[in-house]
Structure 1
């Protein structure tokens, strides 16, 4: 039996659920003035709806950073002295790799990378700020810019379908059908004969461009059949590929076909089964408390010798006790209750195995230089796509995530075991799965932030986002709480004291009480709950 997917213009509800990157409807050329010491230079840029984008290559040349371009994959890499920065067209995530440790992390710009005429343009403020943190040079971006005439309107394309390309991922393949306009009706299905059929009505294909399609083991052949009222693309695919899911990229109008293998679908089904079981019981009845670090991993060390693992465990046990005493219908699951080392991957497995409804990972922050004046608690979530106004941008978010993610280096053979999170494409796809939980994650994070601000004598640094490995595998709403800075003498005293840990636990418990009611109401009503109403 073949599976058919019929995509009609009326399917607006389905389209509205797809997470997409920001849409730049209009871009105007502009000249950006940079200053480095006494040197000043004008570089090319674009102004897209008030957001200024700078030419990546011209900026790199100005800063004397070597550049490696991969036009086939639409990627470019900047080679700094201590880091590599990999940039992908139409993607807001930059992948930063430390040369010394080999550890990679993702940095999210507020807007996706523009790609015009084989040239990459990055959001100027975000990009320059990142480069300055990685390799300080003192480069300044002048606020005054000079706009030049807008790009000419594109002429009507001769062909509606202009090409196709295949990109592999660790959990599947993405087949992109390039288009010059928004397509009408189309269908995509895999037939019993092992061919993938894609039929588009009222479309003309560029057969010459499609003949340049690069085949692989996954997609071994392409045939094009042009008819008076439609075009059919037929792809000979690997027997391992058994499902195709089409979506339309609302930014480019390209047709994106996600090709799933049997193994990947089985893995996805297991995750969805767990999610469905949790949703069928619309009660916040299992809370997983994760005390960060432990055993041979002390975490960060405070000015006075306080170990992060001890503070995290103290807060975790006190919070669990409050829940057990006051919320009789809630089961508390601990990833550790003593000073033992628990592997990062195992922490999420514990949470998923116990059908957790909320995952709270407790940590302490620090700066490299100690003592320092840096202070404040922070609450982190993973959010796919562009950050909204409710999420404050954090200059040190990437550094915090890098430090916490280094815990995997305590595990034997971690390079092979954590390829899915250390590989840039796979990690981005994993974060996209968090779209099912991100609203409730943000809801709890806001409540926890407010309660901690009310009860603690520690500055509220707000809700932030970063790529923490411990959160990405948790199939439930999840947050990571940085309770304060052990590198700050005053905050270290609060964090190491039983009374300070008790206050933190009480604030988190109050947040859980408010979140429990809102969470259960939203699931029972089948509607997202507004955290501001509670």
Structure 2
């Protein structure tokens, strides 16, 4: 049977030759004293192995939905959901079917006619953490060894050895900058501490308190950026980073570094191929060798741990992706994939969550539902071919994370979340419309509004567990994941601001940035609008009237129509 699978893998790769160049091989899996061989192949320096056969070797149950190109793997009390040509892995609790995290691989899952294929080096850390087993992946063999230890660890060693004699661009570069397997410290992802939002590619365990201020680092690569965590034992200040040609240099004053430990740190081999550490008097300088070009960098400090978070952002343009796919003879499919054919409208709050309460007792949930339904009717009437999906169409309570799931399941291309503002003091003179995009809040007012809108999670069951990991680091990773959409989100927000600014009924306070949970789950361009202040008597009267709601719906529709024209033009260009 496995020989047949390997043959089918070879046929799949040969049939896909116009778009895929790969070396066919197999991977040994050592588990419970037995060794089995499963189909695998190398593509662009990445080792892929059959998930179906890997699951069979480890006695995991799998469920495949051929219509939606999805596979689900049951591992103990956890389920992993993967989709063909998609880098995201949805991690769910089997008991209550609640999503515990969304793990993003640096590259997509692939599928043949008979099996799904996982990029093993980036999948192994997640598998180790979920399964609670220690995994050693030797890519030079290749061989995956499973053992049971008191503390689950994941280690990836060795460079790929091409079967066709072609150089392995990623694997050889990575191995050239890594030590021998025997000298690589064990890597670990400790899910119980919550210290990592998503499992990093490598996380080296430290057994005792170090004498150095900077003890180690972890590298977390995403499709649209890379996050480097510098583990620190004291608050670090005065740090600065500089992107250069082929390198990223970080200087940290008054800090010591464990040079030997960092020298042994395995890099991901995808975006970062090496790191050097220097102690220059009282200061530390780290130089990361980059394999690709990043457009910007940002350094922030984790307020919980004191660690430094180095964010490297790469520019991702939808138009460029389309051109690449067009050259791979996938133009028709990719155009339909990106076409603006579904808009998701999210009326905030609902059910047991009234939202903001106006001066006379008007409830935000009722106003935003009225605006949303009127906006949806305009889109359906004036934009044929565009489907409108509502997160709610009546007075129903919908959890924040569920709203993003609804949008993604509908394959939405634009997410509009509609709300109303308010102040603690009522009545107040504060007035005006605001439109937000997802970024950590820049002003105290933006943070206050986000905290109010996010407070709805306290009405949800087990909200502490479901949202526990949405911290500063999460938002950095989310920004990376959404970088392909950020310019579209910004442009949509700008167009809404311009429309409201030209209105004689309500003023616009501009485009803002804040960390709204409801925008986190929507994998598409997304904005959140605060339609006006219910704490202002005049605006409350306007917002609660049919005229006011229709007026806002008209303004929003015009902005969306202008956005759609620009968006479609950018795809063509």
TM-score by length of 1: 0.50
What's the counterpart of residue 405 of structure 1? 454
**What SS is found at the alignment partner of 1:398?**
helix
| Distance of 1:354 and 1:510 partners within structure 2 | 23
CA deviation string 1:262-297 (max 9, x = no partner): xxxxxxxxxx9xx99876534211100000000000
Q: 1:472 aligns with which of 520, 539, 561?
A: 520
**What SS is found at the alignment partner of 1:174?**
strand
Is residue 359–residue 535 contact of structure 2 (8 Å, CA) maintained in 1? Answer: yes
What's the counterpart of residue 490 of structure 1? 538
| Distance of 1:486 and 1:495 partners within structure 2 | 8
C-alpha deviation, 1:165, in angstroms: 2.4
C-alpha deviation, 1:471, in angstroms: 0.9
What's the counterpart of residue 174 of structure 1? 228
Q: Identify the range of structure 1 (169-178 vs 350-359) with the bigger mean alpha-carbon deviation.
A: 169-178
CA deviation string 1:472-510 (max 9, x = no partner): 221111100000000000000000001100000000001
CA deviation string 1:182-227 (max 9, x = no partner): 88879xxxxxxxxxxxxxxxxxxxxx965552xxxxxxxx7xxxxx
| Distance of 2:289 and 2:468 partners within structure 1 | 25
What's the counterpart of residue 449 of structure 1? 497
| Distance of 1:4 and 1:179 partners within structure 2 | 33
C-alpha deviation, 1:248, in angstroms: 9.6
Q: Identify the range of structure 1 (423-432 vs 501-510) with the bigger mean alpha-carbon deviation.
A: 423-432
Count the aligned residue pairs: 304
CA 1:179/1:324 → structure 2, altered by over 3 Å: closer, same or farther?
closer
What's the counterpart of residue 308 of structure 2? none
Is residue 308 of structure 1 aligned with residue 341 of structure 2?
Answer: no
C-alpha deviation, 1:329, in angstroms: 1.3
Is residue 362–residue 540 contact of structure 2 (8 Å, CA) maintained in 1? Answer: yes
Is residue 354–residue 365 contact of structure 2 (8 Å, CA) maintained in 1? Answer: yes
Q: 1:255 aligns with which of 274, 280, 288?
A: 288
| Distance of 1:256 and 1:165 partners within structure 2 | 17
CA 1:211/1:470 → structure 2, altered by over 3 Å: closer, same or farther?
same
Is residue 217–residue 265 contact of structure 2 (8 Å, CA) maintained in 1? Answer: no
C-alpha deviation, 1:175, in angstroms: 6.2
Is residue 500–residue 507 contact of structure 2 (8 Å, CA) maintained in 1? Answer: no
What's the counterpart of residue 522 of structure 1? 570
CA deviation string 1:93-112 (max 9, x = no partner): xxxxxxxxxxxxxxxxxxxx
What's the counterpart of residue 367 of structure 1? 423
Is residue 360–residue 481 contact of structure 1 (8 Å, CA) maintained in 2? Answer: yes
Root-mean-square deviation over aligned CA pairs: 4.0
Is residue 404–residue 521 contact of structure 2 (8 Å, CA) maintained in 1? Answer: yes
Is residue 246–residue 289 contact of structure 2 (8 Å, CA) maintained in 1? Answer: no
Is residue 499 of structure 1 aligned with residue 559 of structure 2?
Answer: no
What's the counterpart of residue 200 of structure 1? none
Matches within 5 A, 1:97-108: none
C-alpha deviation, 1:236, in angstroms: 6.4
CA 1:427/1:278 → structure 2, altered by over 3 Å: closer, same or farther?
farther
Is residue 456–residue 503 contact of structure 1 (8 Å, CA) maintained in 2? Answer: no
Structure 2 residue ranges without an equivalent (≥5): 1-41, 47-212, 232-238, 248-255, 276-284, 292-317, 323-332
CA 1:182/1:429 → structure 2, altered by over 3 Å: closer, same or farther?
closer
CA 1:346/1:247 → structure 2, altered by over 3 Å: closer, same or farther?
farther
CA 1:180/1:448 → structure 2, altered by over 3 Å: closer, same or farther?
closer
C-alpha deviation, 1:383, in angstroms: 4.2
CA 1:179/1:412 → structure 2, altered by over 3 Å: closer, same or farther?
closer
Is residue 408–residue 523 contact of structure 2 (8 Å, CA) maintained in 1? Answer: yes
Matches within 5 A, 1:427-438: 427-438=475-486
| Distance of 1:247 and 1:314 partners within structure 2 | 54
| Distance of 1:234 and 1:414 partners within structure 2 | 39
C-alpha deviation, 1:438, in angstroms: 1.1
Q: 1:245 aligns with which of 271, 280, 290?
A: 271
Q: Identify the range of structure 1 (280-289 vs 474-483) with the bigger mean alpha-carbon deviation.
A: 280-289
**What SS is found at the alignment partner of 1:482?**
strand
Is residue 306–residue 496 contact of structure 1 (8 Å, CA) maintained in 2? Answer: yes
C-alpha deviation, 1:434, in angstroms: 2.1
Matches within 5 A, 1:37-186: 165-167=216-218, 174=228
Is residue 365–residue 484 contact of structure 1 (8 Å, CA) maintained in 2? Answer: yes
C-alpha deviation, 1:323, in angstroms: 0.6
C-alpha deviation, 1:436, in angstroms: 1.1
C-alpha deviation, 1:449, in angstroms: 1.1
C-alpha deviation, 1:419, in angstroms: 2.2
| Distance of 2:426 and 2:373 partners within structure 1 | 28
CA 1:504/1:184 → structure 2, altered by over 3 Å: closer, same or farther?
closer
Is residue 221–residue 271 contact of structure 2 (8 Å, CA) maintained in 1? Answer: no
**What SS is found at the alignment partner of 1:378?**
strand
Is residue 383–residue 438 contact of structure 1 (8 Å, CA) maintained in 2? Answer: no
CA 1:431/1:498 → structure 2, altered by over 3 Å: closer, same or farther?
same
What's the counterpart of residue 299 of structure 2? none
| Distance of 1:452 and 1:180 partners within structure 2 | 39
CA 1:278/1:496 → structure 2, altered by over 3 Å: closer, same or farther?
farther
C-alpha deviation, 1:361, in angstroms: 0.2
Is residue 343–residue 412 contact of structure 2 (8 Å, CA) maintained in 1? Answer: yes
C-alpha deviation, 1:253, in angstroms: 6.6
Q: 1:509 aligns with which of 533, 557, 566?
A: 557
What's the counterpart of residue 75 of structure 1? none
Is residue 382–residue 431 contact of structure 1 (8 Å, CA) maintained in 2? Answer: yes
Is residue 166–residue 173 contact of structure 1 (8 Å, CA) maintained in 2? Answer: no
Is residue 170–residue 420 contact of structure 1 (8 Å, CA) maintained in 2? Answer: no
Larger RCO (CA under 8 A, 6+ residues apart):
1
CA 1:476/1:456 → structure 2, altered by over 3 Å: closer, same or farther?
farther
Is residue 175–residue 256 contact of structure 1 (8 Å, CA) maintained in 2? Answer: no
CA 1:340/1:211 → structure 2, altered by over 3 Å: closer, same or farther?
same
Is residue 349 of structure 1 aligned with residue 401 of structure 2?
Answer: no
CA 1:257/1:164 → structure 2, altered by over 3 Å: closer, same or farther?
farther
Q: Identify the range of structure 1 (316-325 vs 443-452) with the bigger mean alpha-carbon deviation.
A: 443-452
| Distance of 1:293 and 1:367 partners within structure 2 | 17
| Distance of 1:460 and 1:183 partners within structure 2 | 40
Structure 1 residue ranges without an equivalent (≥5): 6-161, 187-207, 214-221, 223-232, 259-271, 388-392, 526-534
Is residue 302–residue 487 contact of structure 1 (8 Å, CA) maintained in 2? Answer: yes
C-alpha deviation, 1:458, in angstroms: 1.3
C-alpha deviation, 1:180, in angstroms: 11
